[in-house]
Amino acid sequence: MTVKRAVSGAFAGAALLAATAACSISFNAGPSLDRADVEQTLAQALEKETGTKPDKIECPGDLEGELDTTMECTLIDDSAEYAVKLTVTKVDGLDVRFDYKVASTTKDGSTPEVTAEEIMLEERVSSILEEEVGQRPDRIDCPGDLAGKVGETMRCTLSAGTDEIGLTVTVTEVEGTSMNFDVEVDES
């Protein structure tokens, strides 16, 4: 008989969209930050937060260094366009802070299909198992991408030293651009 141990995890299907919560950026600007600097600052913040560099950020102009000023930029990733709302939240001399929030749907109103790419899934499962048991597996091998559909399962292999153990990843929830999943490791 095989005993299974369940561990839960999460994956942002479109990694950049993990940044849907409002986040802050601070910069020295003067009366405004020019468009190119806003785009570069926002791209760097998204890359730092998600580990993935956006394909492109487009803003309509300079961001005024005035409290409560808003601007909508466009994040282009995997040929989809998402609105990114910027709001200036603090101005202290030349130091300006703004929050940004990435929309969870594309500008055309569609919700992108959530897929955990094979290499990112393997990395996330490794991290989850390391957090759970205190030791990182030598390797996780999954046969491909995992579709973000509730109930979707995938068998993967965990390698630790000379041992190879099977595990099952099961999607438990898909909300917007994120999926939650359980990882069940076979135990003998």
Task: Write the CB contacts of 2 (distance below 8 Å, at least 6 apart in sequence).
Answer: 186, 187, 188
pLDDT tens profile 33-80: 889 988 998 888 888 776 678 889 999 999 888 889 999 999 888 777
How many Å apart are CA 137 and CA 26, to the nearest integer?
38
pLDDT tens profile 69-95: 999 999 888 777 888 899 988 888 777
Cα atoms found within 13 Å of the Cα of residue 94, Cβ hemisphere only: 3
How many Å apart are CA 62 and CA 46, to the nearest integer?
19
Dihedral of the alpha carbons of 15, 20, 23, 25, in degrees to the nearest 10: 60
Burial class (CB in 10 A: 0-12, 13-18, 19+), 101: middle
Predicted confidence band of residue 107 (pLDDT cuts 50, 70, 90): confident
